[in-house]
């Protein structure tokens, strides 16, 4: 029977969930996987929190040096979050010759090149399934199960907070501000929700997932980002009437002209599988050249779903010889040979407020025509206070052409663009 000693850094939601799974399932793993996994130490400043979980006081370390020098520890779980002290702790652990399992998407996204270099030097494992999409095994799928494919695209709902907010706004017609407050009360959103609602969390995850999918470094700085803070329930309702659901999507495409990576609110046809992923659930829709379409769906966050991913990495580390590292040159910046498409192509939804005058519509459409934008649908609502809500859907067109058109319309005096949302139909 192989014995595996584990240490956990941080006993918050994720660390606490991981400890619970490891202790409650110890006999199950022993019987079914042939490994005896024991938690030999934890590093937690709040000693009362650790003891409340049933951890013996003798196993509560005072500093990272105690973890690194403990010969009973083989694998260290980092569930602190943020950059520091997590980064320093992980580097210290790897330099001590122990493998690391992390749920820290920001740390891995920004510094995987440094962490992997040290892991290779010391022949240690570096595992990060829990960094993306909670309990959904998307990273293992990309690393092991879909290796026979050239991944051409991945599209995902990879942030549970924003998906919960948009789902509630759609169901109830409530404002973003009201639903955010509700999400914070329920624990779905942090007191400072910036990372989630402004799209940073999704950007970090997309950087990791697209790098693995396309076998080249995709730095988070190359990803177009737009959050949900300006989403108006009016547009969600118009979208529903047109047969669309609004989601914060992470989109990655790898084509002949380069890589396209973006995070933004998106209308997606209601019959698409991602359109029916609601509340705090996550999903990733992957297209490979051989397998075609695959969707992975499940809880994107939480103590036990994320703990499940961490424990899966621990067992994988314990039952596999050697360590798998990046299939690409993992550097801080992208490979100079990698091309990124900034002026991407999409369909667009625009809501305009226009003056209720004869000839205004022709003036508006002339701006679209000037930039070669083909309009697929126009919906004109009833006038209110001399202004007419006008909904325009376009065929596929370039991002920069839409932005030029919007700037011209806003400067024209005959229309104000109140909303612009990209569309996947």
State the catalytic residues: 205
Tokens matching residue 297: 């769906």
Whole-angstrom Cα distance, residue 218 to residue 211? 5
8 A C-beta contact, residue 344 and residue 398: yes
Tokens matching residue 32: 């079914």
Distance of CA 232 to the CA centre of its chain: 22
According to DSSP, residue 227 is labeled: -
170 membership: H or E segment, kind and range: helix 160-172
Whole-angstrom Cα distance, residue 174 to residue 177? 8
How many residues belong to the chain? 425
Residue 38: strand pairing partners: 5
Phi and psi angles of residue 314, each rounded to the nearest 5 degrees, phi first: -60, -45
Q: Is 288 helix (H, G, I), strand (E, B) or coil?
A: strand
Q: Is 381 helix (H, G, I), strand (E, B) or coil?
A: coil
Please state whether beta strands 415-424 and 345-355 pair in parallel, antiparallel, or not at all (unpaired). Answer: antiparallel
């Amino acid at each position: 029977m192989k014995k595996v000693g584990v240490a956990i850094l941080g006993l918050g939601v994720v660390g606490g969930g991981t400890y619970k799974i490891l202790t409650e399932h110890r006999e199950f793993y022993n019987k079914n996987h042939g490994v005896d996994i024991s938690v030999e130490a934890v590093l937690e400043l709040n000693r009362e929190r650790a003891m409340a979980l049933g951890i013996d006081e003798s196993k509560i370390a005072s500093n990272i040096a105690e973890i690194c020098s403990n010969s009973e520890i083989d694998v260290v779980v980092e569930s602190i979050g943020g950059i520091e002290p997590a980064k320093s702790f992980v580097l210290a652990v790897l330099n001590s010759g122990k493998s690391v399992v992390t749920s820290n998407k920001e740390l891995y996204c920004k510094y995987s090149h440094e962490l992997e270099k040290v892991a290779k030097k010391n022949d240690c494992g570096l595992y990060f399934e829990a960094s993306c999409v909670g309990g959904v095994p998307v990273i293992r799928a990309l690393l092991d199960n879909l290796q026979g494919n050239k991944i051409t695209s991945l599209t995902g709902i990879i942030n549970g907070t924003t998906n919960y907010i948009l789902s509630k706004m759609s169901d109830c017609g409530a404002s973003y501000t009201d639903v955010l407050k509700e999400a914070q009360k329920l624990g779905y959103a942090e007191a400072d929700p910036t990372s989630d609602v402004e799209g940073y969390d999704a950007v970090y995850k997309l950087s990791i997932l697209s790098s693995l999918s396309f076998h080249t470094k995709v730095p988070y700085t190359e990803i177009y980002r737009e959050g949900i803070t300006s989403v108006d329930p009016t547009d969600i309702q118009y979208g529903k009437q047109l047969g669309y659901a609004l989601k914060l999507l992470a989109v990655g495409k790898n084509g002949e002209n380069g890589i396209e990576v973006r995070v933004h609110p998106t209308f997606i046809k209601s019959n698409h599988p991602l359109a029916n992923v609601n509340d705090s659930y996550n999903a990733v829709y992957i297209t490979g050249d051989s397998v075609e379409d695959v969707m992975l769906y499940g809880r994107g966050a939480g103590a036990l779903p994320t703990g499940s991913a961490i424990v899966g990495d621990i067992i994988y580390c314990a039952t596999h010889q050697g360590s798998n590292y990046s299939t690409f040159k993992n550097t801080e910046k992208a490979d100079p040979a990698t091309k990124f498409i900034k002026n991407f192509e999409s369909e667009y939804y625009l809501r305009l407020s226009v003056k209720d005058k004869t000839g205004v519509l022709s003036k508006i459409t002339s701006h679209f025509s000037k930039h070669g934008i083909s309009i697929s649908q126009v919906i004109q609502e009833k006038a209110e206070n001399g202004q007419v809500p006008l909904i325009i859907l376009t065929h596929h067109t370039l991002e920069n052409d839409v932005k030029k058109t919007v700037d011209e319309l806003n400067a024209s005096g005959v229309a104000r663009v109140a909303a612009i949302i990209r569309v996947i139909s």
